Amino acid sequence: MGGEKGLLCLTFLVPLWVYFKFQPEVGNLGALTFALISTIFFDDLNVFIVAGFFRYWYLLLLLLYAVLIGKAVVGKDLKNSAQLSTIVLLTIFLGLSLLKFIPASMDDRLVILKDWGFYVLLIPALLAGLKSAYRVGRERPFLDHMSVMAVFVALSGLYQVASNFSYGHGGPQILPVEGRPVGFFSETTWYGEFLVFAVLLEAYRLSRRLFIKGTHLRVLLYATGMALSLTRNAFLALAVAGLSNIVLTLSLPILKLRRPRGAPRFFIPLVITALVILVYVAVSQNLISTALGKLSFHEASAMSRLEAFNWSFSRFGEHLFWGHGFGWDSSMITLAGTALGSKSFDFILMIHYIFGLSGTIPLVLALLVFLLRGSANSLIRNSKGARYSVLLMLCFLVISAFAPLHQYGLGMLVVAISFYFSWIGRGARVE
């Protein structure tokens, strides 16, 4: 209980400190955005949710909405807050949601309002705030802030493992299932998966030569946390990011473009992370057996995912064009607890279940356009922002194929950062 009260205090104190720390550098809107990002990190189901519905970071999001609306009303420009393609996609899904809102039950209507008010619109709100900060101080203040939050999360995980090693049941244990480190954002696996994004942000910092002391030590810390978390999704997302980065880098000479002087720096964080994971696996017999069990897909979590995929595909053709809507009940959950239907563990399957092909097709097309345009800007303009927007989005999609990151504020934050980097990559400033 004492630990929960301490975290609850941090939920209120950290955003205050962040706001006053960054306000002189990035202005009121940028500092408010950074404060909201800080609060999203504290999203534990048992501590930070009121009446089973209202998270504390909703308060700062509502305040950010008010500021953005106020700026629009008084004529302070928000011209760059969204691209036409994004507006079109949001309009499509808003229209589809309204059509499902009318015949829905009151509970389903509340779900629709919650999803739009505190998740979908969280993305453009964060994006507008980050763009405002960029105009004042470029992206360095944002990267500094994310580094501080990532170090805090990583160290908290190491502390959890150390405590378990000292006081675990039956003597010292390196990594029993109940001893896996957790983040503060609702899911055990989020700890390792968030550290993948932290590694990518450090790699972006290196590629842009936005150095601060200890970059490689931070990457070593994140890699250690990932190894201890033993999260399949984290390893898979890191592999996809690494391979995609290699392909984009090797494509530059093919297009006869100038090879960036700092190209090897792109790989340093990824190489460090991979080495730490390999060494940890090599020295821990206990972990090897656990890892092989996970990779064999015979343990409960993997079997639950396979069951969930089978359930989703078996209903893929039902209401093929229109979808099933937002309705959900406890029958749509596997024995191991994997959510199905409109709360699906898989992002694309969830959209298809709710909207059918009327939602799945525009979403998939929009994702393809975003990834292809980002890849083109990365190659043609040698844009680091475009490159890392693609890598971040790919990692989000990989993780959201097997875990419901898309249903949490942390997932929306990653998408907003991806859009932010894409915007930087298209900007007039030469990178």
**Residue-range domain boundaries for the chain:** 2-426
pLDDT at 125: 93
Residue with the larger pLDDT of the pair 76 and 153:
153
pLDDT at 162: 78
**16 contacts 47 by C-beta, under 8 angstroms:** no
User: What tokens were used for 60?
Assistant: 């700062």
Q: What is the percentage of the chain residues whose pLDDT exceeds 70? A: 74
- Judged against a pLDDT cut of 70, whether residue 429 lies above it is answered with no
- Judged against a pLDDT cut of 90, whether residue 326 lies above it is answered with no
Question: Range with the lowest mean pLDDT among 160-164, 186-190, 243-247, 395-399?
Answer: 186-190
Residue with tokens 């990457």: 219
Q: How many CB atoms sit inside 10 A of residue 144's CB?
A: 17
Residue whose C-alpha is closest to residue 395's, from 227, 282, 207, 240: 240
Q: Average pLDDT over the chain, rounded to whole?
A: 78
pLDDT at 411: 92
Amino acid identity, residue 38?
A: S
pLDDT at 136: 77
Question: Range with the lowest mean pLDDT among 78-87, 226-235, 323-332?
Answer: 78-87
Residue with the larger pLDDT of the pair 133 and 312:
133
Amino acid identity, residue 143?
A: L
What's the whole-number mean pLDDT along residues 332-341? 75
Question: Range with the lowest mean pLDDT among 119-128, 130-139, 295-304?
Answer: 295-304
Could you read off the pLDDT of 288-305 as tens digits, one per residue? 445 545 555 556 666 777
- Cα-based angle 428, 429, 431 (whole degrees, multiple of 5): 125
Q: What is the DSSP string of 342-388?
A: GG-SSHHHHHHHHHTHHHHHHHHHHHHHHHHHHHHHHHHS--HHHHH
Who's near 182: CB < 8 A, 6+ residues apart? Answer: 157, 160, 188, 190, 191
pLDDT tier for residue 134 given thresholds of 50, 70 and 90: confident
What's the whole-number mean pLDDT along residues 102-115? 84
- Judged against a pLDDT cut of 90, whether residue 418 lies above it is answered with yes
**137 contacts 25 by C-beta, under 8 angstroms:** yes
pLDDT at 142: 93
Question: Range with the lowest mean pLDDT among 97-101, 247-251, 306-310, 419-423?
Answer: 306-310
- Judged against a pLDDT cut of 70, whether residue 100 lies above it is answered with yes
Distant-in-sequence contacts of 113-119, Cβ < 8 A, 24+ apart: 114/53, 115/326, 118/55, 118/58, 118/61, 118/409, 119/407, 119/409, 119/412
Distance CA 252, CA 267 (A): 15
Residue with the larger pLDDT of the pair 134 and 285:
134
pLDDT at 181: 80
Could you read off the pLDDT of 3-55 as tens digits, one per residue? 566 666 777 788 888 999 898 889 899 999 999 999 888 876 555 555 456 78
What's the whole-number mean pLDDT along residues 82-94? 75
Could you read off the pLDDT of 65-82 as tens digits, one per residue? 999 888 776 665 555 445
For residue 410, with 0-12 CB atoms within 10 Å meaning exposed, 13-18 middle and 19 or more buried, which class applies? buried
